[in-house]
Structure 1
Amino acid sequence: MGSLFSGRFLSPSFLTGLSGAVSAAVVESLLARFGFGFLGLSLAGSFASNLAQLMVISLLLKSTKTFLLFNVMVGLGMISASVNAFIASRMGGIVFENYSGFFFTKEKGADETPGNRV
């Protein structure tokens, strides 16, 4: 939304962020179907996001030298992903896959009817 309001829609920073977010979401949703836990999902999503962002930057700059930052980005991303996974695990298991493929819990509500609790 910020890109639309500031006039930077489809700018390099927008494309970089979009590619990272989409790649992380796709990888995490695929791996969640195989029973990966919070840490595995978070680490894989972080890795996919960093890789996609560097690929977009390399295409935009027409240079592979941007991959020199890969080790630093992955290292910092793994630390951040581990912290996110720890916080998610402490939230009481709110995040699970439901029938429609989104990530909410299948727990029953207070009136014992099945539904999504956020």
Structure 2
Amino acid sequence: LLRAAADGGLALAQHNLGQALLQGNGVAQDPSEAARWFTRAAEQGLAVAQERLGALHEHGRGVAQDDVLASAWYSLALSNGQRSAGERLAALERRLAPDQRERARQLVPTLVPVRR
């Protein structure tokens, strides 16, 4: 049922399927597949999925480790109301060089496709 809802485009179902795949809850653990589902939900504007993608990129779990991209996802999640992303963003940005912080800021508007 969850996979059918996720396949049907429901962002929360996509996030929940990603979470199940990340943790191995009721399905085989697959962080790479989890990242794909989180991305689908995040691209629909689901802030909790955007924060999760930040964490995956920060720790290199299921995706390439990339602090700049992690910072961009955290920033987007925060701007969409995911307050816990603010703490993660602040901690990460303390480790980034000024040019990395600037690249992250420039990436934010490119993360989510424009919907018309």
Normalising by structure 1, report the TM-score: 0.29
Bigger proportion of residues as helix? 2
* Higher radius of gyration, 1 or 2: 1
Normalising by structure 2, report the TM-score: 0.29
